[in-house]
Structure 1
């Protein structure tokens, strides 16, 4: 199947071709025709399956087929959980609308709002936003969602994890009842299905891969290791393997900073990315990782969600996530777009329960290896750490991790401070 068979306009096909794509991915094949028919959809797709183009292309076609050039109200809203994902989606919208008379803008916290407001005032057809900045500008009367025709909720599962449910509900109440709704999530949990029931109207359900499965192209391995030897082992693996681009996950911001310093001391160029970093620092770290000046990027789950890193060869779980679904999200950073990838997990005794839950979720027994000199501690407890140290289960996680310890940041005016807490 080619993009030509999906019913897209010549202008969009030209833009797709310019980006180097010839064959639509499974999620694009399934979602694009349904969206063009005007249907609401609930789509499940793993990271790296092309889901952004799956909703961006038909959205742009619908808007361009029915132009509103005089007034240019915001006609399509794409809501994302993180700044990085918002910027990535906006880049996609700009690329695919290159040959269309469509204007787009992206808004998120952590940067000054004045340039964002100026762009909106010039007239915008498509707005990509994070919840905090969107609600802040709407409360100031600087934008209106009363003319929204298409609403996209991207990474809906992460939205719930980050505690954005009430914000999503507030955004829904600001839009007209009659609109097309597109909801994308990596998983179809009970919470997601409940949220979908309140937003979508007789939706078509689309799945690009079986629910909660991991990408086949990813080679997975567990290294059993004593907790205190993890840092030495990860430095050994990266150094001896001469790996040039490695994304490493930790559970906490403090853990990310600590590991980053030790890697740098070992002569490995490393940057950390998490919610306590300024937007400028996060952008710089990601740019360095992409251009090769930074070999290792250490990240927390929330900061890494939505990162667009093509052909990433290695992902390492320095610490396993205590929420099993996050393992799928993490390792989905590699093995993208048909490329192979490797996902390694350093597992200490106290993470045994987490590993068992992950294997149950993904439906496989992950191969285990022990490196000489870095053996696991036979006397260590297999009981998990106290939840508050590693992030708590979904309810508490939603209240705390989305703020990323925002209370520790320097105080600013109320609007900016509220904005940053919501990303």
Structure 2
């Protein structure tokens, strides 16, 4: 099966060939014909499977088939993070190089005036983060009356980050008659609820089981005490000759601290997270891609927005609080069918997090101890099974451990609860599974 057999024009097929793509991926095989037919689409695919081209190519084809002279935008693509917005915009430009399409990208963290000037010149495809898009609308820099196609990319992440209010405001401003496309790595129940009110009899595409990791990624766990993690990471980078490795931490402060320690150890490193200016984030990513930085240390804000071709290594310096984020993190390697390696440095206090990840991906990750870094406390080999509530109710209290008349322990606030990690993206503050509205977070 080729791209031309899917109904794409010679110009678009030529552009994909220029990028080294001749055979459509499974998500592209199913999504492209559905989008070309004008149907609403709800598509889920593992990260790194060519999802962006799955909506970009047919979107460009539909605009080319029905040319208009308005100032647009005719297609609106919403993404949760600046990095993902820039990545999608790059894809639009690459695939539209042989068709007369004008594209622009807008996001926060940079001056708004240049974006306003760009929009006033007219644009066919606009890629945006929800917050900055609403800022531009409120300043009369953009109108939505010509939008024919709406794409929500990584929609579940937008809900996690608290963009639901902005998204609903944007939806209310769009023409009622339009094509709607929902693309995401996973679909939570909240996303399916949003889709019910947004999509009209959609074509559903799902090319992989929910929350599964790509088979092309070799995964392993390195048990190590927390105090030895940095030294072990430095050893692995040097001994294996890694020239390009993406490392994930849970917090922004942790990312900065690890970067400084690696630099002192003679390993070039840079950090990328929500507190960094957009200019600093762009420079760090560019230096990493160019090979000037060996280690890029990132928080989960980068878990879905980074697209680095043939990235060989991903390291979880700390496991994520949310098991699903593990899948998105390691999905930065092994993209588009390439092989990749994801390893996690896990200390004893992260045992429950590891168990949650292994339950999610339905496999036990192999443990590999490194000589000289053996941990004081071993990790469990198998995740503990969840307790049966019915058995717990029938069990008699023993040894005076019956009713407790003291204060009840505080429960989690808001479900996934990433609050306090400094990233401001957790469901504890977001709409999430509790159904409460969230405040918009910086993208």
TM over 0.5, shorter chain: yes
**CA distance, structure 1, for counterparts of residue 162 and residue 49 of structure 2:** 25
Q: Matches of residues 365-384 of structure 1 in structure 2 within 5 Å?
A: 365-378=364-377
Matched residue SS, 1:368 = coil
User: 1-side partners of 2:305 and 2:376: how far apart?
Assistant: 36
- Relative distance call for 1:166 and 1:395 in structure 2 (3 A) is farther
Go from structure 1 to structure 2 and tell me whether the alpha carbon gap of 1:397 and 1:193 turns closer, same or farther (over 3 Å shift).
farther
Return the structure number with greater helix share. 1
Contact 1:248–1:317, Cα closer than 8 Å, also in 2: yes
Contact kept in structure 2, 1:3 and 1:24, CA below 8 Å: yes
Instruction: Please name the residue that 1:422 is paired with.
Output: 442
Q: Is the contact made by 1:110 and 1:420 (CA closer than 8 Å) also made in structure 2?
A: no
Aligned to 1:27: 27
1:67 pairs with 2:67: yes
Is the Cα contact below 8 Å between 2:270 and 2:297 reproduced in 1?
yes
TM superposition shift of 1:65: 0.8
Alpha-carbon shift at residue 399 of structure 1 (Å): 11
Query: Considering only CA atoms, is the larger Rg found in Structure 1 or Structure 2?
Result: 2
Q: Which residue of 1 aligns with 2:146?
A: 147
On the 8 A contact 1:74/1:126 being kept in 2, the answer is yes
- Per-residue CA deviation, residues 79-123 of structure 1 (Å, 9 max, x unaligned), is 001111111111111111112121111111111111111111111
* Offset at residue 398 of structure 1 (A): 11
Following superposition, the deviation at residue 420 of structure 1 comes to 10
Describe the shift of the 1:265–1:326 C-alpha distance in structure 2 as closer, same or farther (beyond 3 A). Answer: same
Q: TM-score, normalised by structure 1?
A: 0.90
Q: How big is the shift at 1:394? A: 3.0
1:379/1:206 CA distance change after superposition, 3 Å: closer
Match of 1:55 in 2: 55
2:2 maps to 1:2: yes
Give the match for residue 40 of structure 2. 40
Residue 395 (structure 1) shift:
5.3
Separation (CA, whole Å) in 2 of partners of 1:399 and 1:299: 13
> Aligned to 1:158, what secondary structure does the other structure show?
helix
Unpaired segments ≥5 residues, structure 1: 383-387, 405-418
Cα deviation 1:5-24 (Å, max 9, x = unaligned): 10011221122222221111
* Structure 1 CA distance for aligned equivalents of residues 106 and 369 of structure 2: 47
1:204 aligns with 2:203: yes
Quickly say closer, same or farther: Cα 1:303–1:148, change in 2 above 3 A.
same
Work out the CA distance in 2 between the residues paired with 1:139 and 1:183: 25
Matched, 1:124 2:126: no
Structural mapping, 1:64-143, within 5 Å: 64-69=64-69, 71-143=70-142
User: Corresponding residue for 1:12?
Assistant: 12
Whether 2:423 is the aligned partner of 1:401: answer: yes
Q: Output the CA distance in 1 between the equivalents of 2:358 and 2:340.
A: 19
Of residues 207-216 and 248-257 in structure 1, the stretch that sits farther from structure 2 once superposed is 207-216
- Structure 2: distance between partners of 1:378 and 1:32: 51
- Once the two structures are TM-superposed, the CA of residue 223 in structure 1 deviates from its matched residue by 0.9
Q: Is the 8 A contact 1:109 1:420 kept in 2?
A: no
Distance in 2 between the 1:261 and 1:178 partners? 52
Native 8 Å contact 2:418 2:425 kept in 1: no
- In the alignment, which residue of structure 1 is the partner of 2:193? 194
Distance 2:32 2:323 in 1: 30
Residues paired across the two proteins, number:
401
Please state how far the C-alpha of 1:26 moved relative to its aligned partner: 0.7
Q: Does 1:314 align with 2:347?
A: no
Q: How many angstroms does 1:45 deviate by?
A: 1.2
**Residues 1:31 and 1:397: Cα distance change in structure 2 (over 3 Å):** farther
TM-score (norm 2): 0.86
Alignment match, 1:414:
none
For 1:212-231, list aligned pairs within 5 A. 212-231=211-230
The Cα of 1:392 is off from its aligned counterpart by 8.1
C-alpha contact 1:25 1:49 (8 A) present in aligned 2: yes
- Alpha-carbon distance, 1:422 to partner: 3.1
Aligned pair in 2 of structure 1 residues 403, 351: CA closer, same or farther (>3 Å)? closer
User: Could you list the per-position Cα deviations for residues 353-380 of structure 1 after superposition, in whole angstroms to 9, with x for gaps in the alignment?
Assistant: 1111111111111101122222223399
- What is the distance in 2 between the residues matched to 1:402 and 1:122? 35
- Residues 351 and 379 in structure 2, CA contact (< 8 A), matched pair in contact too: no
Determine the C-alpha separation between the residues in 2 that align with 1:57 and 1:305.
20
User: 2: distance between equivalents of 1:402 and 1:87?
Assistant: 21
1:61 Cα deviation from its structure 2 partner: 0.8
Distance 1:283 1:127, change over 3 A: same
- Aligned mates of 1:318, 1:249 — CA distance in 2: 6
User: How far, CA to CA, are the matches of 2:420 and 2:107 in structure 1?
Assistant: 19
The one-character-per-residue Cα deviations of 1:18-53 (angstroms, maximum 9, x if unpaired) are: 222111111100000000011111111112111111
Q: Which moved more, 1:298-307 or 1:269-278?
A: 298-307
**Following TM superposition, by how much is the alpha carbon of 1:198 offset from its aligned partner in structure 2, in angstroms?**
2.0
Question: What SS does the aligned partner of 2:183 have?
Answer: strand
The CA RMSD measured in Å over matched residues stands at: 2.3
1:326-347 deviation line (CA, Å, top 9, x unaligned): 0000000001122111100011
Aligned partners of 1:247 and 1:296 also within 8 Å:
yes
